[in-house]
């Protein structure tokens, strides 16, 4: 089993309003860039 860490954040401007989110996945033994 591999250890996988997920760091997330999100925000919006107003409620309701435009917003966005992001995630960073970290695995010590594997690397893959997802766009």
What per-residue confidence (pLDDT) applies to 17? 92
Give the domain extent around 26. 1-30
Our count of domains for the chain comes to 1
Instruction: Answer yes or no: is 35 within a domain.
Output: no
Which candidate, 33, 22, 31, places its Cα nearest to that of 2? 31
- Residue 5, domain member (yes or no): yes
What is the reported pLDDT for 7?
A: 92
- Tell me: the pLDDT tens digits for 1-35? 678 899 999 999 998 999 999 988 888 887 777 77
Whole-prediction pTM: 0.59
């Amino acid at each position: 089993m591999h250890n996988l860490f997920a760091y997330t954040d999100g925000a919006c401007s107003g409620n309701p309003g435009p917003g966005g989110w992001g995630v960073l996945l970290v695995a010590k033994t594997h690397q893959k860039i997802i766009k």
